[in-house]
């Protein structure tokens, strides 16, 4: 696994780093919320260990931003000295997948991370290259190309495109897309429309053949223009 540790206690972070690395995992670490947020957005991790109390940006805010604004579904294990039910609920509601109270045994930390990683589904399938007409996506490298032209997508439009490509030529309804991208923390009614508009500007507008269709009253469809409208 590739794991990101976001923890401001240097001794704890160092011990966790060394333990996970000795188990064969690739580990990055950040000592504050802002640095952790940056690493989580620009890199692909199999799991994140996130402290609740952090300088710069607290763990709850960081977790929520990764889910709602960054479009990241990376499994998150929140680990903190706070042990009240309210704190646990707050962490999970912000998007954490699991919760451990300090002091936590390092063996249990690794076990929880392995469980979260397995719950992520078939990672081999997720890394399979997908193609619709001349548009291609490689989830392993997070790269998108239209013909020979590389396209840089922000996290949420990238996730929307990933959903549409995986289900092409099926029409995907708005509720399904919102659930996959934002979970239970659904955005306002215009958020998805805005992200789809940006996606269309990047993958369709510069090209003659249009692939992204809005199926009014149903949802969205990514399909070759050679396929007739339903």
pTM for this one?
A: 0.53
Segment 161-188 shows an average pLDDT of 80
Q: What is the pLDDT of residues 52-106, one digit of tens each?
A: 889 999 999 999 888 888 888 888 988 888 767 777 778 777 888 888 888 888 9
And the tokens for 176? 């399904």
Q: How many domains does the chain have?
A: 2
Answer yes or no: do 147 and 217 share one domain: yes
Answer yes or no: do 168 and 195 share one domain: yes
Q: What is the pLDDT of residues 4-38, one digit of tens each?
A: 999 999 999 999 999 999 988 899 999 999 999 99
State the residue range of the domain holding 70.
2-121
End-to-end CA separation in angstroms for the chain: 42
Answer yes or no: do 151 and 171 share one domain: yes
**DSSP labels, 150-216:** EE---HHHHHHHHHHHHHTTS-EEHHHHHHHHHTTS---TTHHHHHHHHHHHHHTTTSSS--EEEET
**How many residues in total does the chain contain?**
230
Q: Is 227 among the domain residues? A: no
Answer yes or no: do 88 and 149 share one domain: no
Which helix (DSSP H) or strand (DSSP E) does residue 138 occupy? strand 135-138
Answer yes or no: do 12 and 114 share one domain: yes
Give the distance between the most distant pair of CA atoms in the chain. Answer: 61
């Amino acid at each position: 696994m590739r794991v990101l540790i976001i923890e401001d206690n240097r001794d704890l972070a160092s011990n966790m780093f060394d333990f996970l690395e000795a188990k064969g995992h690739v580990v990055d670490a950040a000592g504050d919320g802002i640095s952790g947020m940056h690493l989580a957005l620009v890199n692909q991790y199999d799991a994140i260990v996130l402290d609740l109390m952090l300088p710069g940006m607290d763990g709850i805010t960081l977790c929520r931003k990764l889910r709602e604004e960054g479009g990241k579904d990376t499994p998150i294990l929140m680990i903190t000295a706070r042990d009240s039910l309210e704190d646990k609920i707050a962490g999970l509601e912000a998007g954490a997948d699991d919760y451990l109270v300090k002091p936590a045994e390092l063996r249990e930390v690794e076990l929880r991370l392995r469980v979260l990683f397995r719950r992520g589904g078939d990672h081999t399938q997720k890394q399979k290259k997908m193609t619709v007409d001349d548009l291609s996506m490689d989830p392993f490298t997070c790269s998108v190309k239209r013909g020979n032209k590389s396209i840089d997508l922000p996290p949420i439009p990238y996730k929307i495109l990933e959903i549409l490509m995986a289900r092409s030529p099926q029409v995907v309804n708005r509720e399904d897309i919102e659930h996959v991208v934002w979970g239970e923390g659904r955005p306002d009614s215009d958020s998805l429309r805005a992200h789809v508009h940006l996606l269309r500007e990047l993958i369709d507008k510069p090209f003659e053949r249009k692939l992204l269709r809005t199926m009014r009253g149903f949802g969205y469809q990514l399909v070759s223009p050679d396929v007739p409208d339903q």
